[in-house]
C-alpha cells in the first residue's frame, strides 16, 4: 500500500514529520517498509506553454518549439516528441536543471539549431510510466490547458510529496485505504479524524425511474449490492489533482469515471465498478454463481471461462463482470458513454480469492475483497463517488439508488476483562487506559456492571472477533516498547521430534554417510515425463494432476514419480562435465484418486547414481552401479531395523534394464524397485552413461522400521571362519542359497557373505559355483572344530536336499 503524505493530511492532522510517522506506525504494527520522495533531486523544471512549432530545418524527426515559461521572452527548444501540439502546457527543464537518473540540462545545438532546455516526459521527472495516461507513457507529459505557466513543477504534479510504503500483514485489510491509515494516525496521536464529504445533490431522471433492478440469487456470496445511476456523463480526463493522487498510489489515470472509482477505492477501501448503463439489458443486474462453461471477455481483452464456483455479475443476457475481480469488456465505460451504473457491493472473501486464483487474475479490487471490506460502507462509498462526480463536473447524479441488502450486518460485541489485559501483556494497564485506546481506534466502548468492558466492533475491523484480538490492539497502541521484559513462567512442554521425523532424519544422515547428496526438485513437472520414462499405457502413473495456472508447460502437472526429477539433475550435471555423482530425494508424489477432488500425496524415497565414487578398493574409484545402491539399501535396512532386504529379479518394467533390475522386498512386502535405467530412457534425457536408480515407498518403509540398534560389547571369544563353495543350477538365485545357509546356521552363524561366482570349464553346463565366507562365533565359549564342521555339514546337506547343490572340490 502506497500512502501519499499530502493526501493523508487531508483526513488527519499529523504533528510529526514523515520519518517519525513511519517509526510510530511501524511500532504500532503497521509496518512502513520505506519512504519515497518523488521529486528529490529534480530542480529547475517549470510549466510552459508551447506557442509555436516549426519543422527542424536539418532533421525530419525533430521539431523546433517556441515555449513561454513566463520569463518575458520565448524559449527555443528542439524536441523529437510526437505528441506535442501548439497550445499544450508541458513541464520544461531550463538550463541547469537536474532530472531523474542524474541527467543535467545544458544549452546545446541539435543539428545546427540552438536548444535552451528540454520538454520533459513523466519518466524524466521520476514518475513510473505505468502510472501515466496511455498517450503520455512514452511521450511528453501534457498538463491541463488552464495550468498557469512559470510554476515550479513540484507542487503542480505532486513531486513535493512523500510516499510511505506500507508492508501490511494479511489481517489488516482496513489499512488498504487512506481513511484506514488516517484512523491509525489519529489513534496514535489523539487527533481528530476527518471523513470525506459524501453529500449528494440529486437530479430527477423520470425517464429512467424504475429502470434499475438488482437481484441477488446467491446472498451467501453477496450480502449487499448498491447500484447508483449517473446521467449526462461526459467521459474525459480527470482533474490534475486526482491524477496526481492516483499516481502517488501507483494507479494509472484512465478517465474521469474510472478514476473516480479507483480514487474512492484507495480513499475508503471499497472497490467500485462502473458499467455503461446503455449496454446492460433492461438495466437488470443479477448476482449469481456462474453456469459451468459460461465465457466472458474481461477488460484486459482476455476470454475467461467461468466455473460454477465463481460469482458473476450478469444481466438477462449473461455475465457482464467477474464479481470482485474484473469487469467485462462489453459493458466498459468509453468516450461514448452517457449514462453510468455504479456498483458498490460486498462479496465473500473466500469466493473472490478462489476465483482470482483460478483465473490467474489479481487486481486491486480482488486484493481488498479477499481480506474483507466493511459491509456497512457500500452506500457511503457510492455516495462519495457521486459527490466527486458532481464536484469535477463529470455528470449529474440521478435520484435513483438501489440498495439490495438482504441481511443487514449485526455488529459484534466482544467482552474484555481489564485484569486479563494486564495478565496477557505482563504489565499494569488500567481499565481507563484500555478504554481510551479502544475509543481512539473507533471501537464502541461501554462498561458493564461487573467491571468488564463491552466493545462493539466496527464493520471495517473484520479481523477482530475475540478478546485476545482486542488485547493485541491495546498492546500496539499502548506501545510495545513500554511493556517491560519479563521471564516466561508457567507450565512448559519440551519440544521433541515425532517418530517419523526421527526416522527421516536418520535416513538422511545414513544416506549422506554412504556418499549420496540430498537434492530437492520441483513437485511440478512436464506431462511428457511418462513418455520419456516409458511408463506403460493405462498405468496410474500417467494420470497426472494438471495445474490450473502453471508457470510453464514444462511445469504444468504434479509429479507421480520422483526418479525422473533425479535423472534430470544428473543430466544437468553431466552436461556441465560433472560425470560422477550419487543423489537422493525424499519427497511426495501426487496420485489421482477416482471421485476425489484432491490427489493422494504419497511419500517416496528415490536415489540415482552415475560414474564412480572417488577412493574405494581401486584407483579408478568405486563404481556407482547397481551393487553400490544395493549396498546402500542393505545398510539402510540394517540400520533402520528392517532386517534383511530381499531382491527379486524384475524383467518387465520398460524403464529399467531387464537383466539388471530387482524389486526390493521385506517380509514379503514389496517396497520399491532398484535397477539400471534403460538405455532408451537415458537417450530421452541425452545421457550416454550408465545410471542406476531406486524408488521406494517411504510410508511402507517407515511402517516396517524397527527399534534403533543398541550397543553390544565386543565378543570375548574368537570367531571361526570357513569357506563353502557349492555348485548349483544357474537359474537358482544366490539369495535362495543365502536364505538356507542362514536358517540352518542358527545363532552360531554370525555372518555369511558371497565372495565369488564362477562359471567355467570345471563347472558343468547350466550350473555355476557360488563361494561363501561363513563366520561362526559363540558369546559364552570358544567353538571347537567339531562344532563348526557339524554346522557346515548340516548346511551342505540342506543345500543338497533343497536345491540339489553339490560341494565344489
Binding region for Mg(2+): 463, 469, 472-473
8 Å CB contact between 166 and 30: yes
**Of the candidates 91, 248, 240, 66, the residue with the CA atom closest to the CA atom of residue 163:** 248
Beta bridge partners of 729: 767
Angle, helices 378-391/256-268, rounded to nearest 10 degrees = 140
Phi and psi torsions of 541, nearest 5°: -70, -15
Q: How far is Cα 696 from Cα 711, in angstroms, rounded to an integer?
A: 28
Count Cβ atoms within 10 A of the Cβ of residue 571 and give its class: 0-12 exposed, 13-18 middle, 19 or more buried: middle
Q: Are 177 and 267 in contact (CB under 8 A)?
A: yes
Cell representation of residue 795: 548346511
Report the alpha-carbon distance of residue 183 to residue 269 in Å, rounded.
Answer: 13
Contact 734, 602 (CB under 8 A): no
Rounded Cα–Cα distance for residues 107 and 112 (Å): 13
DSSP percent split of the chain into helix, strand, coil, nearest 5: 30, 30, 40
Helices (H), 550-675: 563-575, 626-639
Cell of 470: 482486542
Alpha helices (H) in 216-342, listed in sequence order: 240-248, 256-268
Instruction: State whether residue 461 is helix, strand or coil.
Output: coil
DSSP 328: B
Closest CA to 695 of 809, 603, 569: 603
Which set of grid coordinates corresponds to residue 657? Answer: 534394464
**What residues have CB less than 8 Å from 621, skipping those under 6 apart?**
580, 612, 613, 614, 615
CB atoms within 10 A of CB 210: 8
What is the Cα 427 distance to its own chain's centre? 39
Query: Hey, how many other C-beta atoms are within 10 angstroms of the C-beta on 271?
Result: 27
Q: Give CA–CA dist 22/28, Å, rounded.
A: 10
Which of 291, 339, 293, 333 shows the shortest CA–CA distance to 314?
A: 291
Q: Which residues contact 466 (CB under 8 A, 6 or more apart)?
A: 414
- CA 552, 553, 558, 562 dihedral sign is negative
- Which residues make Cβ contacts (< 8 Å) with residue 362, sequence separation at least 6? 356
Q: Report yes or no: 723 and 734 within 8 Å, Cβ to Cβ.
A: no
Concatenated DSSP letters for 541-582?
GG-PPBPSS-SSGGG-EE-S-SHHHHHHHHHHHHHTT---EE
| The three-state (H, E, C) secondary structure of 474-506, written as one string | HHHHHCHHHCCCCCCCCCCCCCCCCHHHHHHHH
> In terms of C-beta density within 10 A (0-12 exposed, 13-18 middle, 19 or more buried), how is residue 85 classed?
exposed
> Is residue 214 helix, strand or coil?
strand
Q: How many CB atoms lie within 10 A of CB 541?
A: 18
State CA 277 to chain mean position distance. Answer: 37
Give the separation between CA 324 and CA 108, rounded to whole angstroms.
53
Cβ atoms of 39 and 159 closer than 8 Å: yes
For residue 63, list its beta bridge partners: 55, 79
Amino acid at each position: 500500500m502506497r500512502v501519499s503524505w499530502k493526501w493523508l493530511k487531508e483526513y488527519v492532522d499529523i504533528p510529526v514529520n514523515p520519518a517519525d510517522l513511519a517509526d510510530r506506525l511501524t511500532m504500532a504494527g503497521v509496518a512502513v517498509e520505506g519512504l519515497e520522495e518523488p521529486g528529490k533531486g529534480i530542480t529547475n523544471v517549470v510549466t510552459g506553454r508551447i506557442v509555436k512549432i516549426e519543422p527542424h530545418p536539418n532533421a525530419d524527426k525533430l521539431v523546433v518549439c517556441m515555449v513561454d515559461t513566463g520569463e518575458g521572452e520565448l524559449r527555443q527548444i528542439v524536441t523529437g516528441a510526437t505528441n506535442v501540439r501548439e497550445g499544450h502546457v508541458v513541464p520544461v527543464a531550463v538550463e541547469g536543471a537536474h532530472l531523474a537518473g542524474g541527467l543535467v540540462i545544458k544549452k546545446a545545438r541539435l543539428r545546427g539549431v540552438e536548444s535552451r532546455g528540454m520538454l520533459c516526459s513523466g519518466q524524466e521527472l521520476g514518475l513510473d510510466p505505468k502510472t501515466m495516461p496511455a498517450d503520455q507513457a512514452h511521450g511528453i507529459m501534457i498538463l491541463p490547458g488552464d495550468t498557469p505557466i512559470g510554476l515550479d513543477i513540484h507542487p503542480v504534479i505532486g513531486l513535493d510529496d512523500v510516499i510511505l510504503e506500507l508492508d501490511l500483514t494479511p489481517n489488516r485489510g482496513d489499512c488498504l485505504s487512506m481513511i484506514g491509515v488516517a484512523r491509525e494516525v489519529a489513534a496514535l496521536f489523539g487527533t481528530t479524524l476527518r471523513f470525506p464529504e459524501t453529500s449528494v445533490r440529486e437530479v430527477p431522471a423520470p425517464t429512467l425511474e424504475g429502470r434499475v433492478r438488482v437481484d441477488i440469487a446467491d446472498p451467501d456470496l453477496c450480502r449487499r449490492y448498491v447500484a447508483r445511476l449517473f446521467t449526462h456523463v461526459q467521459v474525459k480526463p480527470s482533474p490534475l489533482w486526482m491524477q496526481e493522487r492516483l499516481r502517488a498510489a501507483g494507479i494509472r489515470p484512465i478517465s474521469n469515471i474510472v478514476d473516480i472509482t479507483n480514487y474512492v477505492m484507495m480513499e475508503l477501501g471499497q472497490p467500485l465498478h462502473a458499467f455503461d448503463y446503455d449496454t446492460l439489458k433492461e438495466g437488470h443486474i443479477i448476482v449469481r454463481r456462474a453456469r459451468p462453461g459460461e465465457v466472458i471477455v474481461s477488460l484486459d481483452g482476455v476470454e475467461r471461462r467461468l466455473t460454477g464456483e465463481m460469482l458473476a455479475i450478469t444481466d438477462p443476457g449473461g455475465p457482464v463482470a467477474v464479481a470482485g475481480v474484473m469487469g467485462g469488456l462489453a459493458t466498459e465505460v468509453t468516450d461514448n458513454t452517457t449514462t453510468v451504473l455504479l456498483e458498490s457491493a460486498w462479496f465473500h472473501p473466500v469466493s473472490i480469492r478462489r476465483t482470482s486464483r483460478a483465473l490467474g487474475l489479481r487486481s486491486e479490487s480482488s486484493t481488498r475483497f479477499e481480506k474483507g471490506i466493511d459491509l456497512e460502507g457500500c452506500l457511503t462509498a457510492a455516495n462519495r463517488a457521486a459527490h466527486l462526480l458532481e464536484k469535477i463536473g463529470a455528470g449529474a447524479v440521478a435520484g435513483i439508488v438501489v440498495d439490495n441488502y438482504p441481511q443487514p450486518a449485526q455488529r459484534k460485541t466482544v467482552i474484555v476483562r481489564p485484569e486479563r489485559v494486564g495478565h496477557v501483556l505482563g504489565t499494569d494497564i488500567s481499565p481507563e487506559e484500555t478504554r481510551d485506546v479502544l475509543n481512539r481506534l473507533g471501537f464502541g466502548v461501554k462498561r458493564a456492571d461487573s467491571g468488564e468492558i463491552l466493545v462493539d466492533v466496527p464493520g471495517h475491523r473484520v479481523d477482530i472477533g475475540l478478546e485476545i484480538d482486542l488485547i493485541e490492539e491495546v498492546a500496539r497502541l499502548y506501545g510495545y516498547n513500554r511493556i517491560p521484559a519479563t521471564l516466561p513462567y508457567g507450565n512448559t512442554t519440551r519440544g521433541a521430534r515425532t517418530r517419523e521425523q526421527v526416522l527421516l532424519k536418520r535416513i538422511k544422515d545414513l544416506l549422506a554417510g554412504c556418499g549420496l547428496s540430498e537434492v530437492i526438485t520441483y513437485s511440478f513437472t512436464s506431462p511428457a515425463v511418462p513418455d520419456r520414462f516409458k511408463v506403460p499405457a493405462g498405468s496410474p502413473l500417467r494420470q497426472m494432476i494438471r495445474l490450473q495456472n502453471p508457470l510453464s508447460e514444462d511445469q504444468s502437472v504434479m509429479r507421480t514419480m520422483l526418479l525422473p526429477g533425479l535423472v534430470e539433475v544428473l543430466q544437468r550435471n553431466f552436461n556441465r562435465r560433472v560425470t560422477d555423482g550419487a543423489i537422493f530425494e525424499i519427497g511426495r508424489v501426487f496420485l489421482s484418486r477416482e471421485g476425489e477432488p484432491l490427489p493422494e500425496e504419497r511419500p517416496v524415497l528415490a536415489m540415482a547414481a552415475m560414474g564412480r565414487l572417488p577412493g574405494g578398493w581401486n584407483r579408478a574409484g568405486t563404481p556407482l552401479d547397481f551393487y553400490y545402491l544395493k549396498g546402500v539399501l542393505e545398510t539402510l535396512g540394517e540400520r533402520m531395523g528392517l532386517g534383511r532386504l530381499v531382491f527379486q529379479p524384475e524383467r518387465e518394467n520398460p524403464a529399467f534394464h531387464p537383466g539388471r533390475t530387482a524389486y526390493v522386498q521385506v517380509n514379503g512386502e514389496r517396497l520399491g524397485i532398484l535397477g539400471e535405467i534403460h538405455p532408451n530412457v537415458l537417450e530421452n534425457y541425452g545421457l550416454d552413461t550408465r545410471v542406476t536408480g531406486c524408488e521406494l515407498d517411504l510410508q511402507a518403509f517407515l511402517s516396517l522400521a524397527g527399534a534403533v540398534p543398541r550397543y553390544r560389547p565386543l565378543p570375548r571369544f574368537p570367531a571361526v571362519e570357513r569357506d563353502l563353495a557349492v555348485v548349483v543350477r544357474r537359474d537358482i538365485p544366490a539369495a535362495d542359497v543365502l536364505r538356507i545357509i542362514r536358517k540352518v546356521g542358527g545363532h552360531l552363524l554370525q555372518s555369511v557373505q558371497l565372495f565369488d561366482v564362477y562359471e567355467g570349464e570345471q563347472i558343468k553346463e547350466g550350473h555355476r559355483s557360488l563361494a561363501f565366507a561363513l563366520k561362526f562365533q559363540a558369546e559364552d565359549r570358544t567353538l571347537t572344530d567339531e562344532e563348526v564342521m557339524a554346522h557346515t555339514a548340516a548346511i551342505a546337506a540342506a543345500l543338497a536336499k533343497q536345491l540339489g547343490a553339490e560341494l565344489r572340490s
